[in-house]
């Protein structure tokens, strides 16, 4: 079965987000290309030391179980551009 973003969101809503919400976190889909899903953790889950295990044991397990066509789920770790801009302003004494 070929997965659509809407179908993946439904699985995340039902099987993944409730667990992440218990830790004040969430997951956001970045992209789905060539059967590779890229996701980003947000809230308190972003940057958490257990983020990679959460991705492998929870997100990847649920998504790949529901959609065998998904070959991998990659955790995208990036710094929020607004946070980075704020840090630059603080360091340059603009704030």
Q: What secondary structure does DSSP assign to 33-54, as a single string?
A: ETTEEEEEEEETTTT-TTHHHH
Cα separation, 52 vs 34, in Å, equals: 22
Residue 83, pLDDT score: 75
Which helix H or strand E contains 7, and what residues bound it? Answer: helix 5-11
Mean pLDDT on 24-49: 92
* Residue 33 contacts residue 74 (beta carbons within 8 Å): no
Q: CA 70, CA 13: separation in Å to the nearest integer?
A: 17
Mean pLDDT (the chain, rounded) = 91
Domains delineated in the chain: 5-91 (3.30.300.130)
Quick one: pLDDT at residue 1?
A: 53
Tell me the per-residue pLDDT of 50-81, one tens digit each, with 9 for 90 and over: 998 999 999 999 999 999 999 999 999 877 67
């Amino acid at each position: 079965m070929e997965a659509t973003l809407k179908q993946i969101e439904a699985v995340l809503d039902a099987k993944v987000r409730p667990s992440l919400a218990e830790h004040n976190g969430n997951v956001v889909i970045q992209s789905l290309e060539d059967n590779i899903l890229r996701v980003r953790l947000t809230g308190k889950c972003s940057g958490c030391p257990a983020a990679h295990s959460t991705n492998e044991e929870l997100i990847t397990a649920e998504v790949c179980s529901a959609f065998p066509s998904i070959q991998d789920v990659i955790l995208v770790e990036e710094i929020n551009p607004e946070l980075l801009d704020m840090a630059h302003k603080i360091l340059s004494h603009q704030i």
